[in-house]
Amino acid sequence: MLFQAAELGRKVSRDEFQRLAPDLQTRLLAAQRELRESNAPVIVIVSGVEGAGKGEMVNRLNQWLDARGVRTFAFWDESDEERERPRFWRFWRALPPRGVVGVLFGSWYSSPIIDRAYEKIDEGAFDRLLARIANFERMLTRDGALIVKFWFHLSKKTQARRLRDDAKEGRKTLDVSPLTRKFSKRYDDFAAAAERAILKTDTGECPWYVIEAEDRRYRDLTAGETLLQAIQRHLEQGEAAPEPPAPKNRAPEVPGASVTILEKVDLSQRLDEATYEKELDACQERLYRLAWKAWEARRNAVAVFEGWDAAGKGGAIRRVTRAVDARLYRVIQSAAPTDEERAQHYLWRFWRQLPRAGRLTIYDRSWYGRVLVERVEGFATPAEWMNAYKEINDFEEQLCEHGMAVMKFWLHISQDEQIRRFRERETTPWKAHKITEEDWRNRAQWAEYEAAVNDMVARTSTSHAPWTLVAGEDKRFARVQVLRTFCERLEALL
């Protein structure tokens, strides 16, 4: 699920690439010169699924950067020398000195992920290795290092196709080594292990960049631009910055290639009145029974509703609550926090509302405010909202470990549809109270919110707590999509 933002089919044409690459290289070289005079080592981790072109990427970076300031290490078979010492010895050997870019093909992540995918280690042992890695990276970052972690992603289908094509053409590059074929058989196991590794080590100081690798040109440009911007930000903040370094954690968008997660939502989906009534009835009946079943099984659930203003959150929530016995649910309106709540950590007010066994809490807006409104309005500092992704993932993981269902809905509409609904509210007496100055202000910041939503979904849609992007242009379609997802998630839980 974490990888859904890297399966959007972004592409860069040959012409576009030839136009953009020289400029990117020029800027990279300039940044590298500046870096050399600074006190910061840069560690670039090149990792990802087999067939994603990690070797090509390493070559590309070496082509773009000034070779005198780059050291490339490929972690391959362990030597005797290495085996005779603790595991991290080989990585310490490979660390670049200050002012130098170290490109690591494979890294401290490789063998934990492989061992986990092959079930040579259990989840506990895996988590311990990841905790050690997180400590290691934190220590280097505190010492002034910049660590840029790339995960190059291919969907299962694309990987299979690429391997087939390569085989047909008799290609045998670094990319399609004998290992590739062996690993690709275990795609799902690898994806699960990689997702966990990324979630557990995606910190504000040292974020992961998951990059779509289907199109080679898009991959190279995006990785190059990401690296450039990370170096620039790091240099701006000066040596040994006490603040977490990266205020922006998305891979930057290559012009022309930008397809975002939200843009992939098909807003043309509709339901006619008759189908809607039929589906609504069926779903609500199903949900009614499931809610009681959950109560009997003592399994609790939380549902989060986020979305654009006027996207229909309230209507969707009402369709859910009408189907559930009133004793079993609570709806929490997350308006401005109370005094008491403001005197606590931002997650406190959501923890306190967690449901008891067998009940459901619906959050109308939620902890995601931290990475949406607080980010856009500047109520949270970049360091704060950057750290929030991991804090939120940790929080939701605790809920899931307890056996709860965590459902998250983003209600999506187009800008045109929003203005239509705003106008309608203004002119309909019993709806006029629903439109405020604030709604217009938020609308003016559509682009900033859009970026925040895309980041949010990319960084917090985990396999245990995935986001459901609801096509909200048609209210009927949206409501049925919400109800159906609700039922499916509860059924899966029980």
Where along the sequence are the contacts to its own copies (CB under 8 A)? 41, 81, 84-89, 92-93, 95, 97-99, 122, 124-125, 127-128, 131-132, 135, 139-140, 142-143, 145, 242-243, 298, 300, 340, 343-348, 351-352, 354-357, 383-384, 387, 390-391, 394, 398-399, 401-402, 404
Question: How far is the C-alpha of 90 from the C-alpha of 80, rounded, in Å?
Answer: 11
Which of 302, 230, 292, 221 minimizes the C-alpha distance to 57? 221
Which residue, 93 or 318, is less far from its own copies as judged by CB? 93
Of residues 356 and 433, the one with the C-beta less far from its own copies? 356
The pair of structure tokens assigned to 233 is 């930000």
In the complex, the smallest distance separating the C-beta of residue 23 from its own copies, rounded to whole angstroms, is 31
Give me the helices (H) in 46-170, please.
Answer: 54-64, 80-83, 89-94, 110-117, 123-142, 156-168
Nearer to its own copies, 97 or 178 (CB): 97
Burial of 113 (0-12, 13-18, 19+ CB in 10 A): buried
When the beta carbons of 29 and 383 are compared against its own copies, the nearer one is 383
Q: Report in angstroms how near the CB of residue 122 gets to its own copies at its nearest.
A: 7
Cβ 491 to its own copies shortest distance, Å: 21
Q: Which residue lies nearer to its own copies by CB, 180 or 361?
A: 361
**Which CB, 396 or 417, lies closer to its own copies?**
396
Least distance between its own copies and beta carbon 407 (Å): 16
With beta carbons less than 8 A apart as the criterion, state whether 3 and 191 touch.
yes
User: Closer to its own copies at the Cβ: 115 or 384?
Assistant: 384
Q: Cβ atoms within 10 A of the Cβ of 66, count?
A: 13
CB of 196 to its own copies, least distance (A): 12
Minimum gap (Å) between residue 232 Cβ and its own copies:
21
The DSSP string of 221-250 is HHHHHHHHHHHHHHHHT-TT-SS-S-S--S
Q: How far is the CB of 188 from its own copies (least distance, A)?
A: 23
Do residues 138 and 206 make contact, with C-beta atoms less than 8 angstroms apart? yes
- Taking the least distance from each CB to its own copies, the nearer of 281 and 340 is 340
Rounded to an integer, what distance in angstroms lies between the CA atom of residue 299 and that of residue 356? 9
CB of 382 to its own copies, least distance (A): 12
Helices (H), 169-312: 178-184, 187-201, 216-236, 273-296
Tokens standing for 79?
């030597």
∠ Cα 470 474 475 (to 5°): 80
